[in-house]
Amino acid sequence: MNPITRRKLIYGGAAAVAGVGGLAVAHRLAKRYGLIPPDSAGIYGPGETLTYACQRLLTVHTPAREFPRSMISKNPFANAVAPPNDAFKRLQAGGFRDWRLVVDGTVARPMSLSLADLKALGLRSQITEVACEEGWSYIAEWIGTPLSSVLREAGVLPQARYIVYTSSEEGMWGSIDMQDAGDPHSLLTMGMNDGDLPVPFGGPLRLRLPRQLGYKSIKYVNRITATDNIKKFGKGLGSVDPEYGYSWYAGM
């Protein structure tokens, strides 16, 4: 048979203590270095946390993949969006001259920027891929102002831990951590493939986050809010996506 010997008991006990102790230390360290996502509760929390923490550590210094101009997709696909509301239609009729991006929260200088104001902060162009969680993808050139330029202009306070962004589309909002916010590829996008960003692709203003799946790149962004407490927003899960079962962190 298989008697439980004293040696087995000691080894097993030591392994269990080491395991529990290791988990407790790992959890404390993860918490201190911001490696726990806002939607870490529930049965999928361990998986979400492991993925987020590991990918955060891997991507500290790595921007998204960029592609040569020859790889730009001839026929990019614009996913379905809800029909625009009346306010959006009025702004569209005016050529989006009155579109405003409100910047507020834990910033030294809250501001309201027109598209021209945004462009004046400096444009950047990058050829990156949109990868949808469903499986499809396309590559396009995106032209816009890095989110980090806007945050610098507004003077984000050091206690800020997340940047919340909101769409003119009802109920659409998300957030990213400061590492993503500081990535030069996190682009407040106004142009696509040498033209204005078309409305079906998120025009006039879309926050393109190429290190995450497409659903994080919310269309029609009209407000960004720096915060030290993500729990105050919505149901406290970091974005609207977890309310539908989708992960807050979509780097995977």
Q: Is 138 in the site for another protein (CB under 8 A)?
A: yes
Would you list the DSSP string of the chain?
A: -----HHHHHHHHHHHHHHHHHHHHHHHHHHHTT-S-TT--STTHHHHHHHHHHHHHHTTT-PPP---GGGS-SS--PPP-PPP-HHHHHHHHTTTTT--EEEEESBSS-EEE-HHHHHHT--EEEEEEEE-TTS-EEEEEEEEEEHHHHHHHHTB-TT--EEEEEESSTT-EEEEEHHHHH-TT-EEEEEETTEEPPGGGTTT-EEE-TTS-GGGS-SSEEEEEEES-GGGSTTSSSSSGGGGT--S----
Q: How many residues bind another protein (CB under 8 A)?
A: 44
Asked if 193 is part of the footprint of another protein (rule: CB under 8 A), the reply reads: no
Between 153 and 183, CB nearer to another protein: 183
171 interacts with another protein by CB under 8 A: no
Minimal distance, residue 123 CB to another protein, in Å = 22
Nearest residue (CB) to another protein, 98 versus 134: 134
Interior CA angle at 225 toward 124 and 130, to 5°? 45
Distance in Å, CB of 233 to another protein, minimum: 19
Q: Which is nearer to another protein, 104 or 129 (CB)?
A: 129
Stretch that binds another protein, among 21-29, 110-118, 190-198, 211-219 (CB under 8 A): 211-219
Contact characters 110-129, another protein, x per CB under 8 A: -------------------x
Residue from 131, 160, 178, 199 that binds another protein (CB under 8 A)? 131
Window 62-101: contact mask with another protein (x via CB under 8 A): xxxx-x---x-x-xxx-xx---------------------
- Of the candidates 52, 29, 55, the one whose C-alpha atom is nearest the C-alpha of residue 39 is 52
Q: Which residue from 47, 95, 171, 200 is in contact with another protein, where contact means CB under 8 A? A: 47
Determine, following the binding rule CB under 8 A, whether residue 244 of this chain makes contact with another protein.
Answer: yes
Q: Is 2 near another protein (CB under 8 A)?
A: yes
Nearer to another protein, 154 or 213 (CB): 213
Q: Which is nearer to another protein, 92 or 179 (by Cβ)?
A: 179
42 backbone φψ class: left, alpha, beta (φ>0; ψ -120 to 50): left
Peptide bond into 204 cis (omega under 30): yes
Write out the residues near another protein by the rule CB under 8 A.
1-2, 43-44, 46-48, 50-51, 55, 58-59, 62-65, 67, 71, 73, 75-77, 79-80, 129, 131-139, 210-213, 244-247, 251-252
